[in-house]
Structure 1
Amino acid sequence: MTGPGRRSSTFTRLLRHGFTDPSRAEGLLDLPELAALRDDSVLLDALGATADPDLALHGLVRLVEAQPEDGRQTLTTTLLSAKPFRDRLLGVLGASEALADHLARHPRDWQALVTYEAADLNPGVAEFERGLAEADDPISLRIAYRRCLLAIAARDVCGTADVAQTAAELADLATATLRAALALARTAAPDDAAQCRLAVIAMGKCGGHELNYVSDVDVIFVAEPAEGADEGKALQAATRLASHLMRICSETTVEGVIWPVDANLRPEGRNGPLVRTLSSHLAYYQRWAKTWEFQALLKARAVAGDPELGEAYIDAVSPLVWQAAERENFVADVQKMRRRVVDNIPAAHVDRQLKLGPGGLRDVEFAVQLLQLVHGRSDATLRSGTTLDALGALAAGGYVGRADAAQLDDAYRFLRVMEHRIQLYRLRRTHLVPEDDADLRRLGRSLGLRTDPVAELDKEWRRHASIVRRLHEKLFYRPLLDAVAQLAPGEIRLSPAAAGQRLEALGYADPAAALRHLEALSSGVSRKAAIQRTLLPVLLGWFADSADPDAGLLGFRKVSDALGKTPWYLRLLRDEGAAAENLARVLSAGRLAPDLLLRAPEAVALLGDPEGLKPRGREHLEQEVLAAVRRAEGAEQAVAAARGVRRRELFRTAAADLIGSYGTEDSPREADPGSLVDRVGNAVTDLNAATIAGALRAVVRDGWGDELPTRFAVIGMGRFGGHELGYGSDADVLFVHEPREGVDEQEAARAANRVVEEMRRLLQLPTADPPLLIDADLRPEGRSGPLVRTLGSYGAYYRRWSLVWEAQALLRAEPMAGDAELGERFTALIDPLRYPEEGLGEEAVREIRRLKARMESERLPRGADPTLHAKLGRGGLSDVEWTVQLLQLRHGRRLPGLRTPRTREALAAALAAGLIPADEAQILDEAWVLATRVRNAVMLVRGRAGDTFPSDGRELAAVGRYLGYGPGHVGEMVDDYRRITRRARAVVEELFYGS
């Protein structure tokens, strides 16, 4: 039947089966050559399952037309009766125009696709050698090569071989082809063959058993004289054989080209001799080779020629490959080379480059190879030339996270299949994703994307490329990698005896205890132990770069024990930026940060987040604290929750301070100590203010519900009000209240006093956390006066009774918690007192000087060295602060810049107003910052507050490291402190005392 009804029905069926040109397809199906096939629905279904049904049908017509008379019936019958063959043949024809061309030229070669046996499913070099055995010249070798390629492509497009198996088969076929080509070259020059032993070493993808359909086959030639032959003549003969082999494979003939053989990876590249002896190769690699050459040798594999010489070459160069990571700047060189590859991609191709572009195949390969070369020195399981095998070994050994490895494996396979199918179409060497919609449609369908092949392909490709790029950046540039590479081989896997000596040399005071910690952390076959074995050699060095390596290692063991069952912990240290180095610095710098971390070990996660060490603002903190208070059952639980937030945030602040002071691989030491001091002061102040706000809310909620009978505010004083708190500072405060409308004053006072007493009790409950002590001794009448007053009572007191020291204390008053409007009214109340209209009279100035002198003589602890006491000593905090505050009292009314509770801000304002020369302002600022840092350092190192340098040698050294003084320089640190504060005291004598 050939009428309109049949044609309309066929047209619709062809559209449904994926034909893009149904009219042309109808015409082809009506050809006499397809008479036996045109009405077979199974054939139409099989065509519709191919990547390009139009291409497959056209190729089938050409194949049928090319058959000799006795072959057409056989082909037709086999097509209709054998589904595996039908799928294989049509699959190849629908994916590869080039292989369709080959079948049209060699119409009997379709029979290579009929075999469907176990050997056909997993062929190796031996099977391919048999397939090439009858080739006796370059032309017949090409024909036989394409015949073998047909079978590989059939298994690939039909899914009976996955991408890794296909790549391995292509490499095995290349191996067999190189052997056949060498045999032809030897046959053509038997005298040359007799004079030398020649081995062919496969490199690159062929060596790695992961070849493309169309690729240069990278090789290196190594030769030795045959017994009794002259070395010079033997090398000349070997060079002729090698050159002939290359021509056989590379030259273009009527049957096309097999593939170019590229020997440019040899020593000296194109400028070097094509063939060298083994000793010449070794001499070059030992003296002249660059980093990339060892990376290339990772995939070296003997494939053809003299097998003993080939294996001798591999045995000789392998140790050099696994020593390459010890070369100076090795990791940086490999990273630089990858960046150079990307930079050299033409701009028009970057977004289409499947191999070299960002998120491409090279990103996976370079990341895997770099990890192999660094860790493979001590772990032989990683020494595979095959990317996916090596990636699996890296995951099994704990060097790469399982999830990361699985994502990389999946993405690499997808990208390699894309690459294979792009090349298979015309058997051309390309790594560019096509731009034509027809090509993209065929490519998408070949990957099983059928709904909207072009859009689905783009989406999947971009998704996988994004995953590759992200993981490449994570693995390829991880700081830990460079640190491991810098270790000597013996440091990576130490015997107990060697480890003990190594620990002692690194400065561990108790190597035996350190060994016990190492054994506990890394023994066994678990994945956790494997990752620890990777981390510990590097961490030991970082711990050793501190004043107390033993404490660092002990802290690491405690944290590891606490987080032992937490899956993210070791992954974080291995994978995320500078987390491991940050942790090492924090754990070995003193007691405060490790103690905080051990009470909240999950805070380790902060060390791996680039934003994790940035202090959080008061508003954010207060929201979190108040939310925790709302969830708590009672006031004690609520305040415990608020203190939990404070503990974590104190760790964040301490860790950032230590890392900024010490510096790490990623973040050098912070240049400006003043910014570190300001950051700590602001962070601790905000944190304590949020904690007090939480305690206030908890007390009010438990005692009165939603609203207290009186409005209530907490005013920060001293360092608290000045945003200059250290880790061990008390919170100086005043409490103010004002009865709400209609509330009896006595009832309001009772409520306010109850709030204060309950807040102080809750905040001072015994706990392992650093205490938050509320000190209200700066209130009117001091300890003798009421804890809390109304705003009116404060006003009456300050009008009638206040002394000059109280005005001075109020310079640093700032509302911190409670009723904001009441706090602002308190500030307005005290401004005339602390910034007097007429400034200070001489009597008031004399009184301030007298009080300061008395404090120096009475409050300095007995036996303390006045030149080294950070708070009350010569040129210390008190000297600078009283000098600045005297300027504020005198000039604050007329100079608004001086109206700040912050010492450094007020000093800068005094400088700007011309009240103090620049050099003197700099001297005072430097002394104040240094004294503050000393107090912070003492708290960080000892875990308790102190105003003087520690007497213990290790603690003193740790303070020195925090302040930027290396080992053996603590004497210089103390001398510098005395010099800086002595200069500051001279300025104080002039500015404060008028000397």
Structure 2
Amino acid sequence: MSVPQGRRSSTFTRLLRHGFTDPSGAERLLDAPALSSVRSDPLLLDALGATADPDLALLGLVRLVEAQERADGAEGDTARRELLDTLITAKPLRDRLLGVLGASEALADHLARHPADWQALVTYEHSDLHPGVQEFESGLADADDPDSLRVAYRRCLLSIAARDVCGTTDIAQTAAELADLATATLRAALAIAGAAASADAAQCRLAVVAMGKCGGHELNYVSDVDVIFVAEAPENAANTEGSDEGKAIQAATRLASHMMRICSETTVEGTIWPVDANLRPEGRNGPLVRTLSSHLAYYQRWAKTWEFQALLKARPVAGDLELGEAYVEAVSPMVWQAAERENFVPDVQKMRKRVIAGIPAGEVDRELKLGPGGLRDVEFAVQLLQLVHGRADASLRSGTTLDALAALADRGYVGRVDAVQLDDAYRFLRTLEHRIQLYKLRRTHLVPESDADLRRIGRSMGMRTEPLTDLGRAWKRHTSVVRRLHEKLFYRPLLDAVAQLAPGETRLSTEAARERLIALGYADPSAALRHLEALASGVSRKSAIQRTLLPVLLGWFADSADPDAGLLGFRKVSDALGKTPWYLRLLRDEGAAAENLARVLSAGRLAPDLLLRAPEAVALLGDPSPSSRTTSSRGGPNGLDPRPHAQLEQEVLAAVGRADDVEQAVAAARGVRRRELFRTTAADIIASYGTEESPAIADQGALVDRVGAAVSDLTAATLAGTLRAVVRDGWGDLLPARFAVIAMGRFGGHELSYGSDADVLFVYEPRDGADDQEAAKAANKVVSEMRRLLALPSADPPLLVDTDLRPEGKTGPLVRTLKSYEAYYRRWSLIWESQALLRAQHVAGDAELGAAFIDLVDPLRYPADGLGDDSVREIRRLKARMESERLPRGADATLHTKLGRGGLSDVEWTVQLLQLQHGAEEPGLRTTRTREALAAACAAGLLPAQDAGILDEAWVLATRVRNAVMLVRGRAGDTFPSDGRELGAVGRYLGYDPGHVGDMLDDYRRTTRRARAVMEQRFYGA
């Protein structure tokens, strides 16, 4: 039928005004014969314009009317007239039907296939508009096979969706109705399965326990329905020798499997939803069905923290409800004792981080459920608080997120304002999730990208003026609220409990605050509360800023191995710097500074001790300037980059030059060393632990090289400054001797650990025209004065100068002339001294003299003819003797980093033997650095790549352990600590999650065992 142009123009305009995006297509649909009797009714157009997608609603209506006409003869015509008459005369039905058709293409498809089902919307107001399980069971009662169950399920779903899109129910009621419909559906599916296998049904008692959102009465439109199956033999069975129990489990497994297939399979009638039993003990690897006693045995012995968290929502829904209740009653005490488990909070937080890490990078910003600020953040935060405080407060034990949140607020565990904001955000996010899923009834949590989808969703949520813009803003606002409150929710009430700034507010009790701190890993919650009170109480600007910072800082402290140390350190630093204007501004405004400080303060004793000796060094933890926001070649942020040796030496010498006397000069040099050592430790900790902005650096070899070079350069600069101070104090600036310091050992190899001694040799030469005896006397005085000054008592980490590698050892003179060294090495040198000289490098004093010493020893350490068999045997003998005599009594040889199996000594002696044998012919081997020499030996074909990799891995790991021990304990050590908390801190530094120190020790033993095997083959020739 043709339409006059004038009428077409008028209708076209009206359609646009009513929200149609394809008015031409809408005109054609309105002119279809199916709508001939209602097309001119203004009520119809108004109702279509009120839907989420008027175009979609109109198309669905035409399809539904045409489906009525497909019925046979007069019956079809009658059905069509009944639908259209009711549509015009009954406004509630019109709103419900068109509301569903405008929001859900999938339900429109269902109505087109089953055109009589629209009548379910006529009578959906029974039971006070909110049907429960019994009403849904009635709606499914006639379903006696899987396909009829699928049709009946969609018919019930149609009524739920109508109440939802019309605003008759809110999101919480809708989610509860969906869970009740799921319960009724599971019961119907189990009945169908039982009817198909009546013998199986008679042989067992089978309980279906809902978990997850179904168990919590907060189900989505499309979601896996998580369940656990429990079975027993019938009560009247004679349980002889376990035969009846075994038969019962087999029968129950068949029934459960059949029930799952009925719900999960897809046919021409679609699918209901997948039934997921992977939350059962042992997951998909475990038996589908267990007895109650088997469940309990598993939970008592093997269950992980997340499994108890999941059981918080367990609810019997189908089958033998008495058995299901017995299951829930039996596991409940274990659920509410979960917070007492070691590493409880870190385990929960670790699982949350793992979930986020598993989201594809391109989907993180669209992920409504699992992404930062998403639904899972709300659920995790609420469940964490429930598990901590629910043991003593049964009012918190709801499986429903919003009910639990309200209970937490009512009892003072969560601030009321925070609870209201979180409740609003959760309702918005769940509504958005429902609207996304309702469209095609597909399981998704990704916010769509197309304007058409976003427009439909925005309009369905009441945003009619600018649906795309308004939806985007609201989504961003609510996720921001969740991200902010996710951490604050757990930690802020701890501050309110001690600050007492709002007298009328229900606040966390002292005992509840202690419970929460214990769950966070604080060993001394009373002391922690005192620190919080000192930091957060009062009305000063300082206290206000610290109250803002502390909720986040407490989270970072809790993520460490020693939260108590982190909080105590923060209090000390704040006491020292709290009145300094830039300090709190730095922590508040510089994105990385606060997290960096938290990581440093809670990683052990060394870095905090250094910081507290020079609190102003906290400025190093800030972000680099935007113009230089890059990553250095050494892998750390610019503000924490180790400074080059030349810059360090220049600053140390300048500081020494400003001092009034020699002791002040050395104190000034130590001050530079203290600050720079803090810079190095902080960079190491942050690179090892990682932060939210910068993940941990995976290349542990690079971290070792950076620390070794930084500490060695700093030691060299400190020695240069001390030498300058001594010379200036005793002789002005003209010592009668040229004097040089030669680094040996790990110092010469640029491989110093935090606690390493500085092995050195001293060499001098009389200046031209100077008396030999006067020069010798001066040189000896310089050495003795340097050693005295460096040994003065200090709170700083000691810098011990070790001269035992000099000719004649402890009995020989501390300092020699170059000629004396030449004479000794020519006549008396032993092979071990040639080996020791492989690390010799000039580091301070007269550069020309230092170079001459290196030229002197090169022929010894890189002999032109290599090593003879006698020399090789002697080196092997010395190594074997060292292994048998020098390992401390009682030490575990598998865990001693220096002298133990596959440790530093094994690797270094293997490499050094190759250097002595082939250094003259292979220039790459002529280096003082172990890893460089190892790589050169591999490149030269002297060592297979696999063996070189094994040795390198072991050397890096052993060095990292030594560094970790010093960072954690504040004193050097060559083996793992015995204290549990210190051992945990070492594990965190090495990248192990809390509770995995056993894995750390196993990995260390495995790595060093492999290195020992290579060493025995390559060094001993075994």
Normalised TM-score (structure 1): 0.55
Choose from 780, 805, 813 the match for 1:778.
805
Choose from 952, 955, 976 the match for 2:982.
955
Q: Secondary structure, in 3 states, of the residue corresponding to 2:638?
A: coil
Choose from 531, 538, 542 the match for 2:552.
538
Q: Determine if contact 2:488/2:551 at 8 Å carries over to the other structure.
A: no
Shift in Å, 1:629: 0.7
Shift in Å, 1:994: 1.1
Q: Show the 5 A alignment for 1:209-248.
A: none
**Counterpart for residue 669 of structure 2:** 642
Alignment pair present for 1:661 and 2:688: yes
Whichever residue aligns with residue 584 of structure 2, its letter is L
Alignment pair present for 1:506 and 2:520: yes
Q: Deviations over 1:417-449 (max 9, x none)?
A: xxxxxxxxxxxxxxxxxxxxxxxxxxxxxxxxx
**Counterpart for residue 62 of structure 1:** none
**Counterpart for residue 570 of structure 2:** 556
Q: Show the 5 A alignment for 1:691-710.
A: 691-710=718-737
Q: Show the 5 A alignment for 1:566-577.
A: 566-577=580-591
Distance of 1:367 and 1:698 partners within structure 2: 65
Choose from 518, 522, 538 the match for 2:536.
522
**Counterpart for residue 291 of structure 2:** none
Distance of 2:521 and 2:927 partners within structure 1: 47
Q: Determine if contact 1:374/1:484 at 8 Å carries over to the other structure.
A: no
Whichever residue aligns with residue 564 of structure 1, its letter is G
Q: Deviations over 1:941-993 (max 9, x none)?
A: 11101101111111111111111221221112111111111111111111111
Alignment pair present for 1:593 and 2:607: yes
Q: Show the 5 A alignment for 1:150-189.
A: none
Shift in Å, 1:498: 3.4
Please tell me the root mean square deviation across aligned C-alpha atoms, in Å: 4.1
Distance of 1:318 and 1:784 partners within structure 2: 73
Q: Pick closer, same or farther for the CA change 1:776–1:510 going to 2, 3 Å.
A: same
Choose from 747, 750, 753 the match for 1:720.
747
Whichever residue aligns with residue 670 of structure 1, its letter is I
Q: Secondary structure, in 3 states, of the residue corresponding to 2:639?
A: coil
Distance of 1:753 and 1:805 partners within structure 2: 26
Choose from 834, 837, 845 the match for 1:818.
845
Q: Secondary structure, in 3 states, of the residue corresponding to 1:811?
A: helix
Shift in Å, 1:501: 2.0
Q: Deviations over 1:395-424 (max 9, x none)?
A: xxxxxxxxxxxxxxxxxxxxxxxxxxxxxx
Q: Pick closer, same or farther for the CA change 1:329–1:784 going to 2, 3 Å.
A: farther
**Counterpart for residue 690 of structure 1:** 717
**Counterpart for residue 92 of structure 1:** none
Q: Pick closer, same or farther for the CA change 1:886–1:754 going to 2, 3 Å.
A: same
Choose from 632, 635, 642 the match for 1:615.
642
Q: Secondary structure, in 3 states, of the residue corresponding to 1:612?
A: helix
Whichever residue aligns with residue 818 of structure 1, its letter is G
Distance of 2:922 and 2:428 partners within structure 1: 59
Q: Deviations over 1:899-949 (max 9, x none)?
A: 000001000000000001111111111111111111111111111011011
Shift in Å, 1:500: 2.0
**Counterpart for residue 215 of structure 1:** none
**Counterpart for residue 790 of structure 2:** 763
Choose from 929, 940, 963 the match for 1:913.
940
Q: Which 5+ residue runs of structure 2 have no aligned equivalent? A: 1-42, 44-88, 100-161, 176-217, 222-365, 374-415, 434-445, 452-468, 498-507, 624-636
Q: Determine if contact 1:291/1:324 at 8 Å carries over to the other structure.
A: no
Q: Pick closer, same or farther for the CA change 1:520–1:851 going to 2, 3 Å.
A: same
Q: Deviations over 1:377-408 (max 9, x none)?
A: 9xxxxxxxxxxxxxxxxxxxxxxxxxxxxxxx
**Counterpart for residue 885 of structure 1:** 912
Alignment pair present for 1:740 and 2:754: no
Distance of 2:901 and 2:553 partners within structure 1: 41
Shift in Å, 1:284: 10
Distance of 2:450 and 2:830 partners within structure 1: 72
Bigger CA radius of gyration: 1
Q: Deviations over 1:89-146 (max 9, x none)?
A: xxxxxxxxxxxxxxxxxxxxxxxxxxxxxxxxxxxxxxxxxxxxxxxxxxxxxxxxxx
**Counterpart for residue 874 of structure 1:** 901
Q: Secondary structure, in 3 states, of the residue corresponding to 1:815?
A: strand
Whichever residue aligns with residue 934 of structure 2, its letter is L
Percent identical residues: 72
Q: Pick closer, same or farther for the CA change 1:842–1:957 going to 2, 3 Å.
A: same
Shift in Å, 1:650: 0.9
Shift in Å, 1:369: 12
Shift in Å, 1:482: 8.6
Shift in Å, 1:232: 5.2
Q: Show the 5 A alignment for 1:962-981.
A: 962-981=989-1008
Distance of 2:488 and 2:827 partners within structure 1: 73
Distance of 2:868 and 2:604 partners within structure 1: 48
Q: Pick closer, same or farther for the CA change 1:531–1:540 going to 2, 3 Å.
A: same
Shift in Å, 1:751: 1.0
Choose from 645, 651, 656 the match for 2:678.
651
Distance of 1:371 and 1:642 partners within structure 2: 52
Q: Name which of structure 1's ranges 612-621 and 721-730 shifts more when overlaid on structure 2.
A: 612-621
Distance of 1:792 and 1:276 partners within structure 2: 100
Aligned length: 591
Shift in Å, 1:799: 1.0
Q: Show the 5 A alignment for 1:275-290.
A: none
Q: Pick closer, same or farther for the CA change 1:832–1:368 going to 2, 3 Å.
A: farther
Normalised TM-score (structure 2): 0.53
Q: Determine if contact 2:491/2:555 at 8 Å carries over to the other structure.
A: no
Distance of 1:905 and 1:714 partners within structure 2: 23
Choose from 866, 869, 878 the match for 1:839.
866
Q: Secondary structure, in 3 states, of the residue corresponding to 1:680?
A: helix
Distance of 1:510 and 1:822 partners within structure 2: 57
Q: Show the 5 A alignment for 1:288-327.
A: 323=423
Q: Determine if contact 2:487/2:555 at 8 Å carries over to the other structure.
A: no
Choose from 1009, 1013, 1017 the match for 1:982.
1009
Whichever residue aligns with residue 607 of structure 2, its letter is A
**Counterpart for residue 153 of structure 1:** none
**Counterpart for residue 229 of structure 2:** none
Q: Show the 5 A alignment for 1:293-442.
A: 323=423
Whichever residue aligns with residue 682 of structure 1, its letter is A
Q: Determine if contact 2:488/2:552 at 8 Å carries over to the other structure.
A: no
Q: Secondary structure, in 3 states, of the residue corresponding to 2:792?
A: coil
Choose from 854, 857, 863 the match for 2:881.
854
Whichever residue aligns with residue 720 of structure 2, its letter is A
Q: Determine if contact 2:418/2:489 at 8 Å carries over to the other structure.
A: no
Q: Pick closer, same or farther for the CA change 1:729–1:483 going to 2, 3 Å.
A: farther
Q: Determine if contact 2:542/2:579 at 8 Å carries over to the other structure.
A: no
**Counterpart for residue 598 of structure 2:** 584
Q: Which 5+ residue runs of structure 1 have no aligned equivalent? A: 1-191, 193-228, 240-271, 296-315, 342-361, 378-479
Whichever residue aligns with residue 562 of structure 1, its letter is A
Whichever residue aligns with residue 563 of structure 2, its letter is P
Q: Determine if contact 2:780/2:814 at 8 Å carries over to the other structure.
A: yes
Distance of 1:599 and 1:489 partners within structure 2: 30
Q: Pick closer, same or farther for the CA change 1:596–1:327 going to 2, 3 Å.
A: farther
Q: Show the 5 A alignment for 1:480-499.
A: 484=487, 493=496, 495=508, 496-499=510-513
Q: Secondary structure, in 3 states, of the residue corresponding to 1:825?
A: helix
